[in-house]
Structure 1
Amino acid sequence: MGREKFTGTGVALVTPFTKELTVDYTGLQKLLDFTLDGNVNYLVVNGTTAESATTTEAEKAEILSFIKKHVQGRVPLVYGLGGNNTQQLLDTIASTDFEGIDAILSVSPAYNKPSQLGIYQHFLHIADASPVPVILYNVPGRTSSNITADTTLKLALHDNIIGIKEASGNMEQCMSIAKHKPEQFILISGDDLLTVPMISFGAEGAISVLANAFPEKFSEMVQLALAGNFKQAASLLHSFIDINPLLYEESNPVGVKALLERFGICSANVRLPLLEATSGLKNRLEKLL
């Protein structure tokens, strides 16, 4: 698996819903066309931003099938497969059709807060079982536990673990990974606003929420940074600074779905326990646009 497949901008796709809260495949097709026209490099299906916590196994399979048929191999697909029950996750891997999937993105176990050795063993089992490469996902703000740099670097030695989406916000930790990682291991920014500085010390791009709504602009920023044009990349980054916090104010993907509704891509509907963006949030997003 060439690391270049996951260099650049990956979009953490939302799952559009109808007003009845069924999956909106018309909206999903519009979103796929919109992001692909924006020159993104790959798509992430069934990640946190896709509200994977509230989609059923049948819906997940249908969404993946729809995206594979629509994308037709134009860009690589990364499929979100993570959880805090290791054996259940291994069973899911065993029953998943991986045709057309280029890698999985596996989030660190949430809620049960395993030790670093527990996290290490969890991912070793996932990597051994997965027929496609594994990208680790560290997001302590959601999981309540951090994958330390030392644990990441130990996992990076596994042949089937090819990278990490780092969303800890801990730049010293990210720099340590960049400094000590094997050359083929990919460091990916999991925080949109930290993408340019992370690329400056060794990251190879981002898996982005913003890229749902601003695929072309975000992709241009990433490509400029990868080419070493950091002044121009920073100028584009600055345009996102005010809007990015609003995307998370009422939880992700509430804010970005409000933007997508504003752009005519899909509705702002989300499933409980999330609620659609308040009128106040929508008004502030509108003012920034």
Structure 2
Amino acid sequence: MELHHALSGITCPVVTPFDDAGEIDDDAFVATLEHLLEHGIDGVFPCGTTGEFASLTREERRHVHELAVEHAGGEVPVLAGAAATSVAEAVAYTEDAADAGADAAVVTPPYFHTANDPAGNRQFLEQVADQSPLPVLLYNIPVCTGGRIEPETLTAVATHDDIIGLKDSSGDLEYFLSVLRQTPEEFLMLQGYDALLVPALRMGADGGLNALSNVVPEAYAELYDTFDAERGEELQDAIAPLFDACASYGFAPATKTALEYRGLLPTDSVRPPLVSVPADERAAIGSAVDDLLLPAN
């Protein structure tokens, strides 16, 4: 599978559904995948931030990746979350992902003991890529890792044979465009900050990797495919209230609440330290979902 072409569109960081006892709900996960495929999603990314990877054991991550490959692999690419704080652990996750049949692994810089020099992140990412049996997509999410992947670091690693691109969830469009300018055309650039998807696409992004595509994949597919500026802005504006809910309550909780509202999850349960969206805020999320599902004028 040629990943640059396959991932030039909308990839979904899939939620990990839990039942009321806090266990992974396989049936709900498979139903979510089917919903995404039916409505035009171009790739899936289990065990990302929205998939609550940090609350999953290694065995649970492996299980989720196996489910994703079984039910979506072959039809769309499967990107497997492999974030970790040590090179050895990240490589182990990439090996598990390869065994499951995933197409690529997604790796963040180390979190907690963040690099005090960009060279440290470069060494970390290159060493993981050197040892990974899968191509590696880098993931810039400074709010969770304590710092960004510097543009000069990305310029340096962009020619690595096994590093295919970047998901940027920084929310900094200037940063995104700087990296876009400084890296080769074949370096995949995916906008991970939903509120910046339209401007990023207009400026040359290859696609998006967006939490709320779980909820309204049809809207995101239309947003990517449309060349109508007015419709694109209309969709982006309609996404904004849901994105604000994600920013307030967390991407996994707000996305799961929206999925429950659509009848696509039986419950919006999350694992600690995350907490569910307060009951008095759920109606607003439902209203925002309804607005996104309205047909174009």
TM-score, structure 1 as length reference: 0.94
Q: In structure 2, what is the equivalent of residue 265 of structure 1?
A: 264
The offset of 1:105, in angstroms, is 1.0
Question: Residues 94 and 134 of structure 2 are in contact (CA less than 8 Å); yes or no, is this contact kept in structure 1?
Answer: no
Q: 1:190 to 1:163 in 2, by over 3 A?
A: same
Question: 2:173 corresponds to which letter in structure 1?
Answer: M
Q: Does 1:116 align with 2:105?
A: no
Between 45-54 and 235-244, the greater mean CA deviation after superposition:
235-244
Query: Does the residue aligned with 1:45 lie in a helix, a strand or coil?
Result: coil
Instruction: State the alpha-carbon separation in 2 of the partners of residues 67 and 180 from structure 1.
Output: 33
Q: How does 1:124-203 map to 2 (within 5 A)?
A: 124-203=126-205
The offset of 1:122, in angstroms, is 0.4
The offset of 1:90, in angstroms, is 2.6
Gaps of 5+ in 2: 291-297
The offset of 1:259, in angstroms, is 0.7
Q: Indicate the RMSD between aligned Cα atoms, in angstroms.
A: 1.5
Instruction: State the alpha-carbon separation in 2 of the partners of residues 40 and 91 from structure 1.
Output: 28
Question: Residues 248 and 254 of structure 1 are in contact (CA less than 8 Å); yes or no, is this contact kept in structure 2?
Answer: no
Q: In structure 2, what is the equivalent of residue 79 of structure 1?
A: 80
Q: In structure 1, what is the equivalent of residue 294 of structure 2?
A: none
The offset of 1:91, in angstroms, is 3.6
Number of residue equivalences: 286
Question: Residues 73 and 100 of structure 1 are in contact (CA less than 8 Å); yes or no, is this contact kept in structure 2?
Answer: no
Q: Does 1:284 align with 2:264?
A: no
Between 206-215 and 274-283, the greater mean CA deviation after superposition:
274-283
Q: 1:212 to 1:5 in 2, by over 3 A?
A: same
The offset of 1:97, in angstroms, is 3.6
Q: In structure 1, what is the equivalent of residue 210 of structure 2?
A: 208
Instruction: State the alpha-carbon separation in 2 of the partners of residues 86 and 126 from structure 1.
Output: 6
Question: Residues 243 and 285 of structure 1 are in contact (CA less than 8 Å); yes or no, is this contact kept in structure 2?
Answer: yes
Q: Deviations over 1:44-90 (max 9, x none)?
A: 01111111111111111111112222224111100010112122223
Instruction: State the alpha-carbon separation in 2 of the partners of residues 2 and 272 from structure 1.
Output: 34
The offset of 1:275, in angstroms, is 1.2
Q: In structure 1, what is the equivalent of residue 19 of structure 2?
A: 18
Instruction: State the alpha-carbon separation in 2 of the partners of residues 139 and 9 from structure 1.
Output: 18
Q: How does 1:61-72 map to 2 (within 5 A)?
A: 61-72=62-73
Gaps of 5+ in 1: none
TM-score, structure 2 as length reference: 0.92
